[in-house]
Each structure stands twice: as C-alpha cells, then as structure tokens.
Amino acid sequence: MTISGKATLEVTPQSLRYAKPFMPMFLKRLRAVQVGVGKSFFVGPESVSSWWSAKEHRFSDIRVLDPDPDPKFIAAILANVRASFPALADIEVDEAWGAYVDSTPDAVPVISPIEGIGGYYLAAGCSGHGFGVGPGIGFLAAELIANDKPSVDPHPYRLSRWSDGTRIEVGAL
Ligand SMILES: Cc1cc2nc3c(=O)[nH]c(=O)nc-3n(C[C@H](O)[C@H](O)[C@H](O)COP(=O)(O)OP(=O)(O)OC[C@H]3O[C@@H](n4cnc5c(N)ncnc54)[C@H](O)[C@@H]3O)c2cc1C
C-alpha cells in the first residue's frame, strides 16, 4: 500500500548546488512535495561530508537508499485504507518502508555516451518511471554501446542537453 502524489523533498548541499536547473521541475511538483532536511544532508552521496571528502569509496558506501518512512504518510495511508475498506478497519501496520525517487531536471532519462570519457555510457535518471521504461532504456543503451543503428532517436536522451544551451522543458510526470 502506498500514497500517490505525496513526497518529501530532502534538501541537501548537492541539491542546493544544482537547484537552478531543477527549479522548473520543483515548481511543477510543488503541491505534491513537502520540503525538509533529513539525514541525507549529513550522510551519503549528497551530504556535506561527501562533498568535501577525498575518500575513494564515498559514493559507494551507501548502495541502497531507503530513508525512514514518514509516520505522517503511514498514518494517512492507513486512514485511507480503513475508510475505503471498512472490513479492514482493525488492521495494523506490520512493516513500513521508505524510498527515494530519482529525477532529472526534465523528468527524461539520460541514455548517452559521456563525451570526453571514451567507452563510458550512462543509462539513469528514470524519474519515477523506471519500472515502465527500464526495458526500453536498457535496449537503447545496448544499441548505443554496440554501435548498432538505434531503434529510436537517442537525441532527446543525450547528457549534453544540460550544457548545450537547450531550454529545459519538464516532461510528463
Ligand atoms: C516507492 C516507489 C514507487 C515507484 N513506482 C513506480 C511505478 O509505479 N512505475 C514506474 O515505472 N517506476 C516506479 N518507480 C521508479 C522505479 O523504481 C525506478 O525508476 C527504477 O527502479 C530505477 O532503476 P535504476 O536501475 O535506474 O536504479 P535502481 O533500481 O535504484 O538500481 C540501482 C542499483 O544499483 C545498486 N548500487 C548502488 N550503488 C552501487 C555501487 N556503488 N556499486 C554497485 N551497485 C550499486 C543499488 O543497490 C541498486 O540495486 C518507483 C520508485 C519508488 C521508490
């Protein structure tokens, strides 16, 4: 069970650093998010400690991003279920789980070779649609890596769209 259209945006040093390109996305999602500061400000890949650290494995120390679930959201989910299914009025929460949803500035994934680093390809930034579009992302990434003729135009998915002056337009959320 989950709740749709509700989330917390955790402010981190890295998110402040890159806030400008994410602003159109933030404004579009404003009603769905509450803004807060959590553990991620101090620990993990987006944190102050990581930013200034020269530690070799600082981006791989935390491999699973599972933040503590917000008790307010859990209570709201439970209230929704009890109201919608009166027969379940007595159920209790046995286990709760939280997660991060990644996002690019335009909600479109990056499926792209990285200019300047030969042989390095990026397929990431599913922006909350990775279950659905993951197979397509993998297929296009494989075609690019194998230097096959791509079955769809890879241009909209290039990484350089954020550095070549292209205007950022937020895609479907
Ligand atoms: C609550 C929730 C609901 C969602 N609902 C939907 C939905 O309804 N439909 C939809 O299409 N999408 C949905 N998504 C989004 C979807 O789950 C993601 O877009 C997708 O899983 C992203 O895939 P990924 O491979 O890019 O990243 P991930 O699935 O995050 O995979 C990254 C993997 O890399 C591993 N890893 C991390 N660091 C390292 C390291 N240093 N070395 C080796 N491995 C490492 C991680 O453990 C992880 O297994 C939802 C996401 C959440 C959190």
**CA of residue 59 relative to chain centroid, distance:** 16
Where is the domain boundary, 100, 126, 143? 100
Helix residue ranges per DSSP H, the chain: 13-17, 19-28, 48-52, 71-84, 130-145
What are the structure tokens assigned to 32, written together? 């769905």
Q: Are residues 15 and 89 in the same domain?
A: yes
Q: Which domain holds residue 91?
A: 1-100
Q: Which residues of the chain have pLDDT under 50?
A: none
Q: Are residues 119 and 89 in the same domain?
A: no
pLDDT at 86: 96
Q: Are residues 81 and 136 in the same domain?
A: no
Best CA proximity match to 144, nearest among 125, 123, 161, 163: 123
Ligand 1 close to Cβ of residue 6 (< 6 A): no
Q: Are residues 18 and 80 in the same domain?
A: yes
- The pLDDT tens digits for 138-166 are 999 999 999 999 999 999 999 999 899 99
| Contact present, 122 and 159 (Cβ < 8 Å) | yes
Ligand 1 close to Cβ of residue 58 (< 6 A): no
Pocket test for ligand 1, best of 8, 77, 112, 129 (most atoms within 8 A of CB): 129
Where is the domain boundary, 85, 100, 115? 100
